[in-house]
Structure 1
Amino acid sequence: MRGFRFPVAASGGIVLAILIILLTPAAQMAKSDVGSADIWPMVLASNGEYFLYGGIFFAIFTWGLAKWFPNRKLSRKPSHSGEQIWREVAFSLSSNVLSIATGLWLVLSNEALQANMYRDIHGPGGLIYVVATTFALFLAHDTCFYWSHRALHHPKLFPLFHRVHHDSVEPTPFTTFSFHPVESVIQDLNSLLALVILLVIPWHPASLVAFSLGVTLFNLLGHMGFEIYPRTWHRWPILGWKTTCYHHYMHHQRSGGNYGLYFRFWDRLCGTEFKDYEARQEALFTRRFVQSEQTATSVE
């Protein structure tokens, strides 16, 4: 951590976010329930919430449960360097501020979204419809994420943008939103594209709340370096299509596969899931974990 400097790219992301916020047309903001004076508290709250959750996850899984359940700890390293943590914090700060800025587009489309919103949870379709709508949001987001993520691994794009995230070969909860500013905008656009669904179908606020919380939660789980899913999770009907923590950890180790975020659908369909993923997932629990992940860092 000695001599650490705030990354230039992260600083640029914060400056870009501030410019986007400041240049947002006042006339457009006036149409929504959120005024320009409300944006800065949102920035502070968003970053505070993320770093609080990240710190809690780091303490629980990296320092606590990893010692009590060593077979579930994914990294063989005893600890992470302070330099890595501070670099991740810097880029996460940039990404969170950019998320608020790009989220203004959601604010500007507030009227269109509200037109399809209903508040009676027993309304059309009842609770089953709310659950189905929430699943549709995650499926749409996973689709956008898979293809943009795979594109960012193109040899010409990876060193420019995505390498920032993959500099954390051994991820921590703070790796979750440690993105180059350009990738941060892409990730935010993925979320906004997923929300297009709400412009064409009725939706209950519970779906949007669950989706928003789930995006952060599942991302944190994928980067905490600890496996919470059962050993044979991939064998379970239906549930086995959900990615495990090791699924994304393996992506950080090898880079050229396992691109999905929540589900395995696209990886299985496109043949980009690592062939030995399931075997290695089970091997974690029997300590047959072969320490060869670090050697496969090629970009596909």
Structure 2
Amino acid sequence: MQTLMNALASFWHIWSFTLVLDVGRYLVAAGGLALILKLFWGLGLKHRKIQARWASNADVRREILTSLRTGLIFSLNGTAVAFGAITGIFTVYRDFDKAGIGYLAISVIAVIIVHDAYFYWTHRMMHHPRLYPYFHRTHHRSVTPTPFAAYAFDIPEALVMAAFMPLWLAFVPMHVLGMFLFMAFMIIRNVMGHAGVELMPRSLADSRWFGWINSTTHHDLHHATFHHNYGLYFTWWDKMMGTEHPAYRERLRGTPARDAVAADDAVRPAIAAS
């Protein structure tokens, strides 16, 4: 009996911490960006709005509620990862003597690159007609997303997204700081992708050196058109697989092609009604 009580106490201690961490990370990132957009709207941001349509208050409430549910799922996954580290299933370390700063930097870069690939292929999978109603429909109800849509997932999609970290840790040791930096990068880029306002330089559209970085327009077009731009951080996979929206560069420059605009306007009601 005492063993069970100790186990429950240990679970509660770890889970309460991960719950605050996961939900707090979402609220700080999404709420912080929403506040920044509001404060600086009159100082030029209104001219960088991507869609003419505005999200409704009901849209925002749905995004927040479903994102909080995802935060709960992520916290349970984080608790499982923590117990996996305690029992030696995963290698998560705190001492830099185990591996230096160089390994920390390489591991963070590597996890971001691999996560982008994981996101692209699972994202495309969830767009399959047989899987979409169960995995991805809720997220696409945000035709005009806001920062609060970052975690607005169906439960099965949240589980797929959560699965990445234990899969990664099964093969790659990580410093706790490296995990924190990756999670911070992930949520910041996630809320930026759903901002509804272009936050990146428009010069990315024609940049030889930095054009592979996703802009807000890139993911916003995915929500608006449904069948393009599946990547999260980079444009690599969309370029290689031919899934980049044909008008993406024009949209990012601020000069969208008329035929693409017409196609978007035609598909949005169908997505919203699905």
TM above 0.5: yes
Secondary structure class of the residue paired with 1:263: coil
Structure 2 residues without counterparts, runs of 5 or longer: none
1:85 is aligned, of 57, 60, 69, to 60
TM-score by length of 1: 0.77
* Aligned match of 1:142: 116
* Aligned match of 1:117: 93
C-alpha RMSD of matched pairs (Å): 3.0
CA distance in 2, matches of 1:289, 1:245: 21
Distance change (3 Å), C-alpha of 1:294 and 1:161: farther
2:190 is aligned, of 216, 219, 222, to 219
CA distance in 1, matches of 2:250, 2:135: 32
User: In the TM superposition, what is the alpha-carbon distance from 1:127 to its structure 2 partner?
Assistant: 4.2
CA distance in 1, matches of 2:14, 2:91: 23
Distance change (3 Å), C-alpha of 1:208 and 1:37: closer
* Aligned match of 1:198: 172
Distance change (3 Å), C-alpha of 1:196 and 1:218: farther
User: In the TM superposition, what is the alpha-carbon distance from 1:244 to its structure 2 partner?
Assistant: 0.8
User: In the TM superposition, what is the alpha-carbon distance from 1:252 to its structure 2 partner?
Assistant: 0.4
Deviations 1:246-272 (A, max 9, x none): 110010000101000111111111111
Alignment check: 8 A CA contact 2:30 2:191 kept: yes
CA distance in 1, matches of 2:49, 2:60: 18
* Aligned match of 2:106: 132
2:178 is aligned, of 207, 224, 231, to 207
**AA aligned opposite 1:146:** Y
Deviations 1:55-91 (A, max 9, x none): 2211212x233332223111323x4311111111111
TM-score by length of 2: 0.84
User: In the TM superposition, what is the alpha-carbon distance from 1:149 to its structure 2 partner?
Assistant: 0.3
Alignment check: 8 A CA contact 2:119 2:231 kept: yes
Alignment check: 8 A CA contact 2:90 2:170 kept: no
* Aligned match of 1:107: 82
Deviations 1:190-221 (A, max 9, x none): 2332334424xxx4433222101111111011
CA distance in 1, matches of 2:42, 2:111: 36
CA distance in 2, matches of 1:197, 1:222: 29
Structure 1 residues without counterparts, runs of 5 or longer: 1-24
CA distance in 2, matches of 1:212, 1:105: 16
Alignment check: 8 A CA contact 1:162 1:179 kept: yes
Q: Percent identical across equivalent pairs? A: 27
